Amino acid sequence: DQQVKQNSPSLSVQEGRISILNCDYTNSMFDYFLWYKKYPAEGPTFLISISSIKDKNEDGRFTVFLNKSAKHLSLHIVPSQPGDSAVYFCAGGAGNNRKLIWGLGTSLAVNP
Amino acid sequence: DVKVTQSSRYLVKRTGEKVFLECVQDMDHENMFWYRQDPGLGLRLIYFSYDVKMKEKGDIPEGYSVSREKKERFSLILESASTNQTSMYLCASRAPGGIYGYTFGSGTRLTVV
């Protein structure tokens, strides 16, 4: 049973346009969500987070939106750059639970 | 700058060999994790440890064991390597509580031939 779902395995976007990566979850107990970015042959790096009491968090070109009623969050990248080409993972966490629950990832390709 | 260091970036081992993957963190974190990443399967948790000498099985512990003798070091052991253990292995550590995420190492690409 996948508690965090990233239904699009891949996404292709033109440079300068908006990239929207989606994530759905089933566990209402999540207190926060995280987005990680992963380049090939490297470990994932933290990108942005959002608490479940917020509906938006922005950091530069990256904005995460949370819709709790729909159990849906999305990561917006504006404007997209070729260096953003990577696999993006969404993860949910709850309270003091040590483990994060991960989606399967979305591979983003930003074309020049 | 906080760091998680995995001892090898690339490893090639033979079927049946015992393989040790080492991970060291310098953040004094209690929680450490071993994942493997395979295309289309995301990040799958193998084992994690929430304190020295403490460990818990993750989602796919079969064929693996772990050791945590010191807080900063968490080792993953493949008792008898098999070709289906060819994968990218990722170590991570995390501070307890809060909205803190994981800090990952650079990964070890293990090929079992």
Q: How many CB atoms lie within 10 A of CB A26?
A: 13
Distances (CA, A) of A56 to A18, A74, A76: 17, 10, 11
B49 and chain A: CB distance < 8 Å anywhere?
Answer: no
Return the pLDDT at B56.
93
pLDDT digits (tens, 9 = 90+) for A6-42: 999 999 999 999 999 999 999 888 989 999 999 988 8
Mean pLDDT of B35-56: 92
A92 and chain B: CB distance < 8 Å anywhere?
Answer: no
**Nearest residue on chain B to A35, alpha-carbon basis:** B101
pLDDT digits (tens, 9 = 90+) for B16-38: 999 999 999 998 888 999 999 99
How many A×B Cβ pairs under 8 Å? 59
Confidence bin at A69 (pLDDT 50/70/90)? very high
Half-sphere exposure of A61 (CA within 13 A, CB side): 12
Beta-carbon separation of B106 and A42 below 8 A? yes
Return the pLDDT at A49.
93
Where are the extended beta strands (E) located within A1-112?
4-5, 10-14, 19-25, 32-38, 45-51, 56-59, 62-67, 72-77, 86-93, 101-102, 106-111
Mean pLDDT of A53-73: 97
Mean pLDDT of B45-56: 93
